Amino acid sequence: MTTLVIRARRAIVNGVEQAVDVVTVDGRITSVGDYGTSIGAVVETAPDEVLLPGLVDTHVHVNDPGRIDWEGFPSATAAAAAGGVTTILDMPLNSIPPTCDLDALEQKRRAAEDSISVDVGFWGGAVPGNLADLEPLHDAGVYGFKCFLLPSGVDEFPGLTEAQLRMALAEIARFDGLLLVHAEDPQLISDAPSSRSYSAFVNSRPPSSEVSAIAQVIQAAEDTGARVHIVHLSSAQSLPLVAAAKARGVRLTVETCPHYLCLTAEDVPDGATQFKCCPPIRDAGNRDALWQGLAEGVIDCVVSDHSPSTAALKRLDTGDFAAAWGGIASLQLGLSVIWTAARPRGIALTDVVRWMAEAPAQLAGVSGKGRIAVGAAADFAAFAPDQPFVVDPARLRHKNPITPYAGLTLSGSVRRTWLAGGASQGRLLNRGMD
């Protein structure tokens, strides 16, 4: 029997900050009691630290197997742990093969076993031609399915037409699964010109493309009764549609990402392709409206969309936004990025924890994660909210430490994480696993 007792003057428990003793046995929390009352060997957090539940990031591209020069399970999970994230869910692309059938899922699990520093679960993929694979993947433990409504950027993971989206939703509704949708309307997106101009790239993917695609997804979900989740929402113009759909009972949830809540189009230098992602970072007014959507509960959670690539693919040498890979690597920095942006807005750390730990766990159904409570997983992060640091790419654990946050001073440092009360090796998770 392995016991860990953490004594914290400040801890986020049940949505409030309080002083507690947290007792864990064999990776589970067995008691959350008054500060200073536990007997035996105690690990005490520092006075300037807040004990948080381990964060849950449900949108991570590990790219393993097949593209381990982009990332990989050892480096991705080390970066997660360094950022206070103790559970990740891996996207079905950009690995080769993508996780679109049982054989690919088994290959993914073999790539991850014995090489992970945090717990890892998997999403499946919904692509043209794999309708019959969805229920077997669901039964095998994937947490849901990811699809695109336009080309994904990799040939082995094509997007769905509107008719194929509806067929996938009908099938997923039959076994009460979850479909995650990259919602941009290809009819409203133009080819970005070969250019160092960020504004030219942004203009090629207007807010209307998200509004149109989300309207399509909402209607299909309403017609089929399926549960849907919009990934990486960037356009605040979509929020009224989302709010109205939720109000009339559509089974809809939405996420956004740190880069949309911290960065603005106005601040992106021409040629700075480390800022490229799809959908793109938009203007400051849009960013403010996304924060309002979070505050009002229209947006449910904040996750990284960690999407790394090699420096060559980011075209840092030419600064050509059209040619560069679209993705931002931020798995290690997400908590500090969000806290840095939230704090001046008067947003409490308790809200940040809810958006980055509890809500993603609830979204995916990752049992026992994202909260400090009796019976929950003994996953924690010691976070010093008042300690600033300057982002040095060389100190990041990502395999390719390319980041738009380089040189920025961020508030809040993760000093330590505990997985399952002190385990050094993560577990492979299945949906429904306790």
Q: Are 369 and 54 in contact (CB under 8 A)?
A: yes
**What CATH topology corresponds to 54-369?**
TIM Barrel (3.20.20)
Mean pLDDT value of segment 80-87: 98
pLDDT of residue 434: 66
- Mean per-residue pLDDT of the chain: 97
Instruction: Give the Cβ contact number of residue 198 at 10 Å.
Output: 23
Structure token digits, residue 173: 């509704």
36-40, 67-71, 275-279, 362-366: least confidently modelled range:
36-40
pLDDT of 265 higher than 90: yes
Mean pLDDT value of segment 419-434: 92
pLDDT of residue 1: 60
* DSSP at 33: E
Q: Domain locations in the chain?
A: 54-369
* Phi and psi, residue 156, nearest 5°: -80, 0
pLDDT of 40 higher than 80: no
Concatenated DSSP letters of 300-335:
-EE---B----TTTTTTTTT-TTTS---B--TTTHH
Centroid of chain to Cα 72: 16
* Phi and psi, residue 87, nearest 5°: -140, 130
Q: Are 352 and 412 in contact (CB under 8 A)?
A: no
